[in-house]
Structure 1
Amino acid sequence: MKIEILREDWADLDVPLPGYASAGAAGADLRANFPAAERAGMILAPGARALVPTGLRVAIPDGFEMQIRPRSGLALKHGVTLANAPGTIDADYRGPLGIILINLGDMPFDVTHGARIAQAVIAPAPQMHFEMVEALSETPRGVGGFGSTGTD
Structure 2
Amino acid sequence: MNIGEAAAASGVSAKMIRYYESVGLIPAAARGENGYRVYGPRDVSTLSFIHRARRLGFSMARIERLVDLWRNQGRASAEVKAIAEDHILELRSRAEELAAMARTLEHLARSCHGDARPDCPILEDLAGVEMERQVTAGKLPEPNAAGLVR
TM-score by length of 1: 0.23
Q: More strand by proportion, 1 or 2?
A: 1
Q: More helix by proportion, 1 or 2?
A: 2
TM-score by length of 2: 0.24
